Amino acid sequence: MIIVMSKNATRQEIDNVEHKLSELGFKTHPIIGDVKTVIGAIGDKRLLNTHAISSMPGVENLVPIMKPFKLAGRELKQEPTVIEVGGLKIGGNEIVVMAGPCAIESEENFLETALKVKEAGAGILRGGAFKPRSSPYSFQGLEEEGLKIMAKARDITGMPIVTEVVDTRDVEMVASYADIIQIGARNMQNFRLLHEVGMKSKPVLLKRGLAATIEEWLMAAEYIMAAGNSNIILCERGIRTYETSTRNTMDMSAIPVVKELSHLPIIVDPSHAAGNWKYVGALSKGAIATGADGLIIEVHLDPPNALSDGPQSLRPAKFAQLMEEIEPVAKAVGRSMTVVHK
């Protein structure tokens, strides 16, 4: 339920309504606007005595939230959420590009890649220290050693870092290194993990599950928000379809649909969608043209010898070229690509 307060409601009246709602067992999410304040009341609506609330001083009216994703949806919060990470804004006018290898393989390799993607204009550094591999025999990542390498690369380049957590037991550790915590496609409905990252204040990059509907994806975001963390960046990374020419099918339609349903920023991962470096450029440009707020792209110094996802990784020179090609597309849709490092 949304409680719309009247234009001249006082602070005390807003507090009283919030207090009453908490007494009734509701979680309250006040959104203080320039003109009006609205209070989102999340809980079992059968317990809401609507008459008692609507007759309180300062209350204008009560509007039900129809969608199941109460906090992630546009009904409660219309204006877009902009997430600030290390001086960059995700979800504003600027297109933010995250780039780096699928997995951190060695310090030397990672640092060199970091400097190259920075030079090409990437704003955020990606890298996996915990890899959710389809085979238990594949490289599983350097774990904490990988996180330390990432932190070192951040110190050297000034770029914020995004990295995945795959286990609730590692959330504390990953959050202590990462600037953005990634939840991978395979864990999109790992509700304990979502709750755990929801208890942190670090931004979360929430990838769409391999076979998740947009509603299931937004409900996953809702889990994180219900636990207290509203700093979520959605990431479309392709879904499983009957098509086998690409690793996944990039759901371009998800971008405008999510923009309509949610205030959260959305970026696209063309690398995991395509599974082939040759298509990464076209999908990247399509994503920006369709309204994505950014991209996350896999870059490797020597893709044929990469320990994971080599076939979909761009060499640094190709990545630099792609960054140049994206710029006019961004401009054409009224966005800028300027990256400001702290």
Contact pattern for Mn ion over residues 101 through 130, marking x by CB under 5 A: -x----------------------------
CB of 137 to ligand PEP, least distance (A): 17
Partner in contact with 268, chosen from ligand PEP, Mn ion, none, beta carbon below 5 to 8 Å by kind: none
Q: Tell whether residue 132 is a contact of ligand PEP (CB under 6 A).
A: yes
Smallest separation, CB 86 to ligand PEP (Å): 20
Give the count of residues interacting with Mn ion (CB under 5 A).
2
Q: Of 118, 154, 237, 247, which lies in the binding site for ligand PEP, with binding defined by CB under 6 A?
A: 237
Among 247, 263, 272, 285, binds ligand PEP (CB under 6 A): 272
318 near ligand PEP, judged by CB under 6 A? no
Only segment of 31-39, 40-48, 65-73, 183-191 that touches ligand PEP (CB under 6 A) = 183-191
| 337 interface partner picked from ligand PEP, Mn ion, none, CB below 5 to 8 A per type | none
Site membership for ligand PEP, residue 123 (CB under 6 A) = no
Binding mask 207-236 for ligand PEP (x = CB under 6 A): x-----------------------------
With contacts defined by CB under 6 A, name the span among 62-70, 138-146, 181-189, 313-321 that binds ligand PEP. 181-189
Between 70 and 207, CB nearer to Mn ion: 207
Examine residue 102 and tell whether it contacts ligand PEP (CB under 6 A).
yes
Q: Which residue is nearest to ligand PEP (CB)?
A: 184
For residue 221, give every residue at least 6 positions away whose Cβ sits within 8 Å of its Cβ, in sequence order, or none. Answer: 69, 72, 206, 232, 234, 262, 264
What residues line the site for Mn ion (CB under 5 A)? Answer: 102, 309
By the criterion CB under 6 A, which residues form the site for ligand PEP? 102, 128, 132, 184-186, 207, 237, 269, 272
